[in-house]
A and B are shown apart, each in its own frame.
Chain A
Amino acid sequence: METVTLVRVLGTVICFTGMALCWYMRRTRFNALSSEKEVSVANVRLTQSAFWKLLAFVGIVLVPLAAIGLANYHTLEGTHKVSACASCHIMRPMVNDMQKAASNTLAARHFKNHWIPQNQCYECHSDYGLNGNLQAKMEGYRHLARYTTRTYQEPIKIRGHFNNENCLKCHQGMPLFEAVKSHQSVRVLLDQSSMSCLNCHGQAHPSRAQRTPGSADYTKLMEAVR
Chain B
Amino acid sequence: MSELRWEAWAAILAFIITLGYTLYPGPYLTGAFTFIAQPLFALTILSYAQKVWRDLQSRKVL
Contact = CB atoms under 8 A, between A and B. Distances in A.
A144 B27 contact: yes
Interface in A51-65: 53, 56-57, 59-61, 64-65
Nearest to B2: A31
Interface string A129-171: 0000000000001001101100000000000000000000000
B1 A148 contact: no
Contacts of A15: 15-16, 18-19, 22
B22 A12 contact: yes
B11 A18 contact: yes
Contact of A27 (B5, B18, B45): B5
Interface size bucket, A side?
A: 35 or more
A115 interface: no
A60 B31 contact: no
A126 B21 CA distance: 23
Given A26-B4, A64-B45, A88 B22 contact: no
Contacts of B23: 8, 11-12
Contact of B11 (A16, A64, A88): A64
B31 to A, nearest CB: 3
Contact of A16 (B1, B4, B19, B30): B19
Interface string A55-84: 011011100110110110011001000001
Closest 8 CB pairs of A and B: A11-B22, A148-B31, A26-B8, A15-B19, A22-B8, A64-B41, A25-B8, A18-B15
26 contacts: A7-B22, A8-B23, A11-B23, A19-B16, A25-B7, A26-B9, A26-B12, A27-B3, A28-B3, A30-B2, A30-B3, A53-B1, A56-B1, A60-B7, A60-B8, A64-B11, A64-B44, A65-B41, A65-B45, A71-B21, A71-B33, A74-B22, A78-B25, A144-B27, A144-B35, A148-B32
